[in-house]
Amino acid sequence: MKYSDLRICILFGTAVMSAAITGCSSPCRTVDVDADLKFCHTHVRLALTDLVSGDSSDYSMIPRNIAPGDSLWTLRPATAEEWCSGFWPGVLWLDYESSRDEEVGFQARRYTEALEHILDKPVFDHDLGFLMFCSYGNAYRITREPHYRDVILRTADSLATLFNPSVGTMLSWPRNVGLFGGHNTIMDNMINLETLFWAADNGGDRLLRDIAVKHAETTMNNHFRDDGTCYHVAVYDPATGAFRRGCTHQGYSDTSTWARGQAWAVYGYTVVYRATHDKRFLDFACKVTDAYLDRLPEDYIPYWDFDDPCIPDAPRDVSAACVVASALTELIGYCDSEHALRYASGLEKMLVSLSSDAYRPAGRCRSVLLHSTGHYPAGSEIDYSIIYADYYYMEALTRFAKIKDQPVFDTVGNMAAR
């Protein structure tokens, strides 16, 4: 056992003992999740006043980003080519879940249903899972209306057509096979496995589960370095399945660790463990999470790439922090007490930072968060508000509200008070 691990064990044991002796059961003391969710609700309502107005509302355009210094969402068409189309409906569902504001619920339905046309055509790329599960997945989770479930089942069948059995993964970008010189799978694709697992368990083909498990295994075996960090892109021979190379598209270099790619890995393997209860995937989720946490700066909000030589002057990526925060709300419940303590402590630090003035907009800016980085090498969305940061932040808060009274957060609070 390493010294740092031993120290955590001793602290953990002491804190649990002291909590037991004092009978202390106070919940998490550093995150005011109700206030944070209210802040989100205020900004969602503000954005809706720009976007919808009675019968003339246009649901074919969806919020994507806000440039530094601006306050209004830039809109993009709600199409399969616009990978972020599902996040705004998802934001509305998450806000409705906590606020129960019927106007928000009404608009969540309208924006969600505006995406159904995407399934009329063959799958464009792997982002179909992001698009339809963040929107329809939340719609079904919250309303239980069968139509929403049917759309997710159709989504899963369409996504599965990207699976190449010779490789054992889904092809992420059919349009980029030439560019990368083979079957390309990006780490982001891990997020789409949730759609396949969900469909297999809710009336869809059981084969969808096999595809998701195979994708997770192949990715685990090829897409990571020994230290638990990942490449953004893995390129395979489409006929033999041989792994050709790991490289980047949105990161600093082929050998660097792009923060959001690592965040997708944390979230993805947490979901795979939830769906399979296979200990290999839990151990791996912890390994990739530890690799992420080990590289964070003091405020727990990552630089856009952990290996950018401009650090500490490089831009941050708040969206990666939000993805990981949401994943940790779940992973804490699966892992051993030592990991749970580390992840609970990290989660609190992330949520505290995200709700601070350093990352929150002042005034009437429509987004909930600032300082995300979309595609640095392309010079796109650097230091912007981006809709998926708001989505995963609200998901993290909504989930955190349900677990914040667990003893592990009490232990973290006791340790911090020392």
Helix (H, G, I), strand (E, B) or coil at 274: helix
Question: What are the DSSP calls for 84-149, one per residue?
Answer: TTTHHHHHHHHHHHHH--HHHHHHHHHHHHTTGGGGGS---STTHHHHHIIIIIHHHHHH--HHHH
**Rounded least distance, CB 387 to ligand GLY, Å:** 11
- CB nearest ligand GLY: which residue? 188
Q: Residue 318 Cβ, how far from ligand GLY at the closest point, in Å? A: 13
Q: Residue 186 or 347: which CB sits closer to ligand GLY? A: 186
Minimum distance between the CB of residue 188 and ligand GLY, rounded to whole angstroms?
4
By the rule CB under 6 A, 223 interacts with ligand GLY: no
Helix, strand, coil % in the chain, rounded to nearest 5 = 55, 10, 35
Residue 125 interacting with ligand GLY (CB under 6 A): no
Cβ count within 10 A of residue 316: 22
Dihedral over Cα of 327, 220, 234, 126: its sign: negative
127 part of the active site: yes
Which residues, listed in sequence order, are joined to residue 66 by a DSSP beta bridge? 385
390 catalytically annotated: no
350-379: which residues touch ligand GLY (CB under 6 A)?
374
Give the other-Cβ count within 10 Å of 228's Cβ. 18
CB of 408 to ligand GLY, least distance (A): 29
> Residue 97 or 305: which CB sits closer to ligand GLY?
305
> For residues 115 and 94, what is the distance between their CA atoms, to the nearest angstrom?
17
Number of residues that bind ligand GLY (CB under 6 A): 5
170, 192 in Cβ contact below 8 A?
Answer: yes
Q: Any contact of residue 316 with ligand GLY (CB under 6 A)?
A: no
Interhelix angle 337-354/3-22, rounded to 10 degrees, is: 80
Q: Which is nearer to ligand GLY, 96 or 384 (CB)?
A: 384
**Min dist. Cβ of residue 159 to ligand GLY (A):** 14
User: Site residues for ligand GLY, window 244-303 (CB under 6 A)?
Assistant: 250, 260
In the range 55-84, which residues lie near ligand GLY by CB under 6 A? Answer: 83
Say which of 125, 127, 308, 410 is annotated catalytic. Answer: 127
In angstroms, the CA 401 to CA 392 distance is 14
Tell me if 188 contacts ligand GLY by CB under 6 A: yes
**Which residues are marked as active site?**
127, 188
- Which positions touch ligand GLY (CB under 6 A)? 83, 188, 250, 260, 374
